[in-house]
Amino acid sequence: MKEELIVKAYEIAQERYASIGIDTEKAMDALQNIQLSLHCWQTDDVSGFEASGELSGGIQATGNYPGKARNIDEVRQDILKAASYIPSNHRLNLHEIYGDFGGKFVDRDQVEPQHFESWMQWGAEHNMKLDFNSTSFSHPKSGNLSLANPNKAIRDFWIEHTKRCRLIAEEMGKRQGDPCIMNLWIHDGSKDITVNRMKYREILMESLDEIFATEYKHMKDCIESKVFGIGLESYTVSSSDFYTAYGASRKKIVTLDTGHFHPTESVADKLSALLLFIPEVMLHVSRPVRWDSDHVTIMNDDTLDLCKEIVRCNALDRVHIGLDYFDASINRIGAYVIGSRATQKCLLQALLEPLETLRQYEACGQGFERLALLEEAKSMPWNAVWDMFCLKNNVPVGEGFIAEVEKYEAEVTSKRC
Ligand code: RNT
Ligand code: ZN
The ligand whose atoms approach the alpha carbon of 93 most closely is 1
In the structure, what pLDDT confidence band is assigned to residue 417 with cuts at 50, 70 and 90? confident
Q: Which of 39, 187, 226, 295 is catalytic?
A: 226
H-state helical runs in 48-150: 72-83, 117-125
Tell the residue nearest (CA) to atom 10 of ligand 1.
324
* Residue 52: predicted pLDDT: 73
* Residue 45: predicted pLDDT: 96
Q: List all residues 6 or more positions away from 371 whose beta carbon is below 8 Å from its beta carbon.
A: none
Q: Which amino acid is at 79?
A: I
Query: Backbone phi, then psi, for 254, in 5-degree steps?
Result: -100, 135
Tell whether the model's pLDDT for residue 1 goes beyond 80.
no
Q: How many C-beta atoms surround the C-beta of residue 136 within 10 A? A: 26
* Residue 190: predicted pLDDT: 98
Tell whether the model's pLDDT for residue 15 goes beyond 90.
yes
For ligand 1, the distance from its centroid to the CA atom of residue 288, given in whole angstroms, is 13
In the structure, what pLDDT confidence band is assigned to residue 277 with cuts at 50, 70 and 90? very high
CA 56 to the chain's CA centroid:
20
Tell whether the model's pLDDT for residue 260 goes beyond 80.
yes
For ligand 1, the distance from its centroid to the CA atom of residue 184, given in whole angstroms, is 9
* Residue 51: predicted pLDDT: 79
Q: How many C-beta atoms surround the C-beta of residue 216 within 10 A? A: 18
Alpha-carbon dihedral of residues 417, 103, 145, 158, nearest 10 degrees?
-150
DSSP 143: S
Looking at per-residue pLDDT, the higher value among 53 and 78 belongs to 78
Q: Is 257 a catalytic residue?
A: yes
Tell whether the model's pLDDT for residue 387 goes beyond 80.
yes
Q: What is the mean pLDDT of residues 209-224?
A: 98
Q: Say how far apart CA 137 and CA 182 lie, in whole Å.
A: 16
Least confident among 50-54, 149-153, 234-238: 50-54
224 lines ligand 1 (CB under 6 A): yes
In the structure, what pLDDT confidence band is assigned to residue 410 with cuts at 50, 70 and 90? very high
State the average pLDDT for the chain: 97
Q: pLDDT digit string (tens) for 346-358?
A: 999 999 999 999 9
Is the separation of the CB atoms in 59 and 187 below 8 Å?
A: yes
Q: Say how far apart CA 4 and CA 170 lie, in whole Å.
A: 47
Q: pLDDT digit string (tens) for 72-110?
A: 999 999 999 999 999 999 999 999 999 999 999 999 999
Which H or E run includes 123? helix 117-125
What 3-state class would DSSP assign to 377?
Answer: helix
Which H or E run includes 75? helix 72-83
For ligand 2, the distance from its centroid to the CA atom of residue 249, given in whole angstroms, is 22
For ligand 1, the distance from its centroid to the CA atom of residue 298, given in whole angstroms, is 18
Q: Is 224 a catalytic residue?
A: yes
* Residue 341: predicted pLDDT: 98
Tell whether the model's pLDDT for residue 181 goes beyond 80.
yes
Q: What percent of the chain clears pLDDT 90, i.e. is strictly above it? A: 97
- Bridge partners, residue 255, by sequence: 224, 282
* Residue 115: predicted pLDDT: 98
CA 120 to the chain's CA centroid:
20
226 lines ligand 1 (CB under 6 A): yes
Our CA angle for 346, 222, 48, nearest 5°, is 85
Q: Which of 260, 270, 295, 345 is catalytic?
A: 260
* Residue 264: predicted pLDDT: 94
Q: What percent of the chain clears pLDDT 70, i.e. is strictly above it? A: 100
Is the separation of the CB atoms in 108 and 156 below 8 Å?
A: no
41 lines ligand 1 (CB under 6 A): yes
Query: Backbone phi, then psi, for 348, in 5-degree steps?
Result: -65, -45
* Residue 54: predicted pLDDT: 82
In the structure, what pLDDT confidence band is assigned to residue 152 with cuts at 50, 70 and 90? very high
Tell whether the model's pLDDT for residue 53 goes beyond 80.
no
